[in-house]
Chains A and B, each alone.
Chain A
Amino acid sequence: MTLSGSKVIESPADLEDLREKLRKQLKPSAKSVRVCIGTGCAAKGARRLYELFLQAAGESGNGVEIEAKCVGCHGFCERGPIVVVQPGNIFYQGVEEQDVGEIFRETVIGGRIVERLLYEDYITGEKARTADEIDFYKAQMRIVLAENGSIDPTSIEDYLVSGGYSALARVLRTMDPEQIIAEVDRSGLRGRGGGGFPTARKWRSCRGAEGSPKYVICNGDEGDPGAFMDRSIMEGNPHAVLEGMIIGAYAIGASQGYIYVRNEYPLAVDHLSRAISRIRDLGLLGEKILDSSFSFDIRINRGGGAFVCGESTALMASLEGRVGEPRAKYVHTVESGLNSKPSNLNNVETWANIPAIINRGGEWFSSIGTQSSKGTKVFSLVGNVENTGLVEVPMGITLREIIYKIGGGIKDGKSFKAVQTGGPSGGCIPAAHLDVRVDFDELTKLGSMMGSGGMIVMDQDTCMVNIARYFLSFLKDESCGKCTPCREGISQMLHILDRITHGEGETGDLEKLESLAELLTETALCALGKTAANPILSTIRYFRAEFEEHIRDRHCPAKVCRGLFLYEIDPELCTGCGICKKNCPAEAISGERRKPHVIDQTKCTKCGICLEKCTFNSILKV
């Protein structure tokens, strides 16, 4: 189904005509194979699958039209490549090249299921035919990700058929800027990038600011490690973001928009570029959109590779061709931002929520979620869980529900230790608080924050001191270096943590860390510096004993920090094969052939090579 020619859509009526035309072209009983080509599935060869399905569909001479389509990220990346067959919404996972023929023959043509490619519940063994039958998807409420997995993100036709740009038409035809902002206000939408600032309030301030031109900016610099929500939205449904931006620009009075996408997301840049080209050709972007007096255009800028550019003033500096250094926000960016002009910056997910809010109403949106946090939030649930991937859930759901019901609990039968939320600006939450209702404010009370939505689950074998050290090391690399406290303070904190994780901790170290943490929060110039201490503060708060064991006993209870635990050979399991002895660089292992070997602790350098080489699992960490 394609648009023939590129007739410009000159009015809302034209848009509806086109939509009707496209819908008529749809065949409800049409068979289609939807192959996910999001980065996760593409990494496992999904593009080749798509090609093969396309070929098969083309060669099929049944007289029935079969469509092979590529779709965006379903969010269940670990189970990729994912292929969904219509009719029936049959959900296949882990599809490989050799499965294509079978799927085509059996399911597409024959209407039969290929059992072994279905998702199998790891406890009950039950197989799920459709996504709705899988626990991972059952408890989700997909608004932002609704179309991911059913529309082809490189075409606008799918988006139009499912109602795309009707919100824009409605806004331009029947609403004025104040009414639009009022609707967003009614929805209670708060920024999804981490700040949680009320979106309507931001729009209103920017609208009221003096100066022109005004800018709207989309922050696609998703830098939190472990978070890939924005990637999936930009890759899987770029038009939702664009529609949101155009509506926002109209409400604010902006004439130019920018989407800043991090350099590490080439597919997102590609899909967004195509989408922009398309709507420009069709007249949904440019001069006098849909027969209104509103003119607006969007440009994409790729980041240069700097986490700090996720901070709004640093992002704007980057858009000005400068280094990504933040500046003071005593005068807000809505008054003086990009090129010192009023600029409204919002996160990808925030923009993507706008069309739904306009279409279904602010009141509908605010009926979902909690008192202070309305709507849904997309989280990336990763780490030591059974089901890792993107989940979209209503605010107020508990951590326990997310991790256990949706995530399927901890992998490999291990136990839960902590969940890291909010990336390098957030903190760890221990088991005692699993029943916290997830929203902006509740997580902050616990010493963490929701942040952009990263949720990294950690099991009993994680060393929390090591985690704190990891985040500090990350922030040290990413600090722009402009202000003293962040630049020097993070270095000093990392220095202390390096000592602790190497068995050189001293009494007073924890107090020093806490005092540095406070200094950073009080004096750093931007949010990166101000929140840099959160990971360390929250891990000390909930896992102080673990720190103390590192410092006082020079021992790592999780047996992660090299040198802070011992390697021992279990005499019951050791077969005396001698591989460890042969590979030990310190010649610390002795033993006769076929007799249990022994490690001489006085010689052992704790390098861990013996454990790597042993094939009998007889080397223990103690």
Chain B
Amino acid sequence: MGRFLLKRILQGAIVVIGVTVVVFVVTRLIGDPVRVMLPLEATPEQRAAFAAQLGFDRPIYVQFFDFIGSALRFDFGNSLWQDRPALEIVLEALPRTLLLVGASMVLAVIIAIPLGILTSLRPGGFLDRLLVTLSLTGLSMPNFWLGLLLIVIFGVQLQIFPIFGSGTLAHAVLPAVTFALPSAARLVMLTRSAMIDELNKSYVQLVKAKNVPFRRLVGAHAFRNAAVPVMTMTGWEVIRALAGYSVVVETVFAWPGLGFLAIQSITRQDLILLQAIVFVVALMIITINILMDLAYKYIDPRIKLT
């Protein structure tokens, strides 16, 4: 167990350093940070002063080690846009994103697992075909469009929910649903196929032969085994949401989380803030990956952690 954790944390560290290196290469070698962060009309003197202030005039290898070193100390420097430590801004936005992603994943799981089990009991039946069609349709909608449709229907036409910003619980409903629906669609499909696989296994025949009630057969035997892939997928859904969908969905609803902050940092030409966001999100992804592995062991004691 201890060795496993150590190994995973080491792998995680490699990923974080990898992300940092990529960010450095892209922002310092492919792009010119001074050109990106200063307005077009800046004079050469202003540019030189800016470069000196942020250390962009030093040799590139000095900048590289300095960049990696300060990233690992969580010291990203001050945001240009808000003139305070970038990490501080990121840590303010992070809970809002986690709240949204957490709420929507709970919603997705509550919707998807019962529906997935239900459809698996009668593959090819009416309910099964209806849900599979609905899931496929849901998956085909771009999530920003789904969000805007919800805004048009529930915010503008019916005026049930507020449509922009945050503050009250009602503000979170539409963005959470926008996050949850595609995840729920994927989870329904997966739960369905995992359950169909389980129900066709021979131990189910044995359990049936022992006259165990059907509810117990499905819930305690088949689903317990199907839960492992379903959980993996849920973990991936969280990662997907953090690593990308949050940018789009939060921008649609002007929800002040990490994703919206990323877009704002680009429009404000604040590379320092963007770097801090990418770093923190990479850390989150690694943490979730490790937690997922630990959870497997808990659900299925046969799994050996190596």
Q: Are chains A and B native binding partners rather than an unrelated pairing?
A: no
* A-binding residues in B (CB < 8 A): none
* B-binding residues in A (CB < 8 A): none
